[in-house]
Chains A and B, each alone.
Chain A
């Protein structure tokens, strides 16, 4: 089976976010970038499928050269090779178009992604890629098994779960507990340097979106503690101070 895993390069969840250039750019100084956590589950599942049934796992990232440490970490975890589309990932449509351009000529059986990136969290790329390629896309997938050219997936829905079957090839946006979370081992880290990492130039895609500027959410106010014996105080604060009652 030929599997493509799309990984995003995102700030560590503990990062302190700030902006530069008149609030039009993320200030990346001091920020540690990681593989999107959902993407890491997708990668782990891809490796499990490969280990069980053979095949190859290719990781793909749309990003500039500074994403290569993140790509190499994916190789250390166990992907066989990697492709970096050498472009700034402007928005979800741009990223999806680049992924589709690569996938068109490569005939992957499965294209696995995270349910959403954890920077822009739009959860769009998998759906867009499915549409651009004319193949099914399913998200968020919590269980995925492949048998006889079909994938059986379990999807989280409001108040329950849905079992979906679809023929390959397909795109899946993954989340835990789809796979045992994998961490690289020393041998993987060592071999990551010698695995192929191909850099390709981007396909041309029209710009649909223009970024004006970023804003931080208003800081959280101080927390007021109310003694359990004085519930009327809570009522008063909600009514007169927060004005939500």
Chain B
């Protein structure tokens, strides 16, 4: 395997850096403080092709592979993790679900709009009472002729309010029964379908997270993804790919924090020396760099297997688990290296520190990743 960035990845990295410097970086703290989800930015990201990275060109996307996708998410997240999270959720979850399991009509109808960001996508699996235990969801869909009637609620849904469509996993059988859940595409404006409370969060504050409420929502059977009963299996496959994107998000946050700390440690003088000359600091940098490298390699390996069509549930879980823990640790050490300045909002590491923590929680907590990994080991 070649670990160098290919030419496309280099161009994508540069493109995101150029765009990010002008259109993201100046607003990062404002969006964060106001907890503003910048919809116009996502439209611009759509024009750049970053909202349909994996969507084939025939459906209006960029048609790239997971390698280019990782580069895009990582580079965005180096500038703003919250934007990285939203781009990842849009691409991997909502768009990814329709791309993998939609029929031709559904793909033609929705993918071009999602890829161009005319539509922002949401994906709803988690519920207030069923997070890690998503299989026990309570939002139900009941058939009524050509329609399905959905009742219940989802929470912690990225783009729950600003999203134009949502892929929602519902229960269509008895709890605990095999194949008891089904996925539907629901458009904003469908009567009874609304967003509830917007979460006030520690980090990732520019990424909108809300509740979704379903009050007798009638959805035509053409909106069903795959067949009745496929929902949970589809969701788990979507998450396999999604975990690679959360790993990439983690790498971006970790690299952003590391780069800032490396630079600062060579500029900040104490006891008449740059603080990087103290072993206590330089050893931190050595550990951070090594762990970041290891996390990168795990992520690339999972992506490589995904591209080759291999079974990669374990590797994606390993990449997500490790990279997210590394992001938290690196961001934490970066704040330490910045000392008191790192604790203020005048320097970027404070935000990396807050944003990083989401990575060990979203799309399956670290504990759940360990369950997935160990299940794949012990058989």
Contact = CB atoms under 8 A, between A and B. Distances in A.
Interface of A: 69, 72-73, 76, 183-190, 192-193
Nearest to B63: A190
Contacts of B63: 190
Given A183-B18, A185-B15, A185-B47, A190 B10 contact: no
A190 B15 contact: no
Given A73-B11, A76-B11, A183 B19 contact: yes
B12 A189 contact: yes
Interface of B: 7-8, 10-12, 14-15, 18-19, 47-50, 52-53, 57, 62-64, 68, 72
Contacts of B64: 186, 190
Contacts of A189: 8, 11-12, 15, 49, 62
A124 B43 CA distance: 41
The interface centre, meaning the residue of A76, A187, A188, A193 with most chain B CB atoms within 10 A of its CB, is: A187
Contacts of B19: 183
Given A190-B62, A190-B63, A190-B64, A185 B10 contact: no
15 contacts: A69-B7, A69-B11, A183-B18, A185-B47, A185-B49, A185-B62, A186-B12, A186-B15, A186-B53, A186-B68, A187-B49, A187-B62, A189-B15, A189-B62, A190-B64
Given A183-B18, A186-B12, A72 B7 contact: yes
A122 B23 CA distance: 33
Q: Which 10 A/B pairs are nearest by Cβ-Cβ distance?
A: A186-B49, A186-B62, A185-B48, A185-B49, A183-B18, A189-B11, A187-B49, A183-B15, A69-B7, A184-B15
Contacts of B10: 69
Contacts of A188: 49
Contacts of A76: 11
Nearest to A192: B11
A186 B48 contact: yes
A189 B15 CA distance: 10
A183 B7 contact: no
Contacts of A187: 49, 57, 62
A112 to B, nearest CB: 21
A67 to B, nearest CB: 13
B309 to A, nearest CB: 21
Nearest to B17: A183
Contacts of A184: 11, 15
Given A189-B12, A190-B8, 18 more contacts: A69-B10, A72-B11, A183-B48, A184-B11, A184-B15, A185-B47, A185-B48, A186-B12, A186-B48, A186-B52, A186-B62, A186-B68, A187-B62, A188-B49, A189-B15, A190-B63, A192-B11, A193-B8
Contacts of B52: 186
Contacts of B7: 69, 72
A75 B159 CA distance: 35
Contacts of B11: 69, 72-73, 76, 184, 189, 192
B117 to A, nearest CB: 12
A121 to B, nearest CB: 22
A149 B96 CA distance: 50
A60 to B, nearest CB: 20
A109 to B, nearest CB: 29
Nearest to B49: A186
A192 B7 CA distance: 11
A95 B79 CA distance: 39
Nearest to A12: B14
A229 B223 CA distance: 76
